[in-house]
Structure 1
Amino acid sequence: MISALRARSRTQQAFVCLVGAALVVLVVLEALNAPYLPVVAATAVAGLLCLTAVVVPEPLFVRGVTLAAATSCALSVVETQLPHRPENTPGVVELFALLLLVTRAARRYPPHKAIVLAALPALAAVLLPLRIADWDENLKNAIALIAVFAVPFVVVLGLCLRLNDAVHTREHEAIRQTERLEYARELHDFVAHHVTAIVAQTKAARFTAAAGHAQSPEDLDRMLAQIERAGSQAMGSMRAMVSVLRDTTAPAATRPPGNLGGLRALTEEFSAVGPPVTLILDPSRAGRRMPPEITTTVHRVVQESLTNVRKHATGAGRVEVSVRMHPGPPDQLQVSVTDDGPGGTATAREKTHGHGYGLIGLAERVEETGGHITAGPHEDGGWRVLAVIPLDPASSA
Structure 2
Amino acid sequence: MAGEWIKMRTSLVTSPKVNGIARILERSADVGRMFSINRDMTLSQIVTRNVTRNVTVSLLLTVWAAANEHTSDGVFQNADLSDIDDIVGVPGFGAAMASVGWVIHDTDNDCVILPNFNEYNTSGNLRSATAKTNAQRQKEFRDRKKQQESNVTNNVTNDVTGNRREEKRREDLKDKPPLSGGLDEIPPEGLAEDKSDEIAERHQAPPGAGEPSGKFPMWEGWNPSPDFQRRAALWNRILTGPVPGFAEHELASFTDYWASEGKVFTQTQWEQKFADSVLYERKRTNQLEQKSGGNHAGNNNDAGESAALRQVREARAEWEQQQGLDAVGNHGGNLFEPLGDQERNDARSNLDGSDRFHDGHPSG
TM-score normalised to the size of structure 2?
0.24
Q: Which has the larger radius of gyration?
A: 2
From the two aligned structures, give the one with the greater strand fraction: 1
From the two aligned structures, give the one with the greater helix fraction: 1
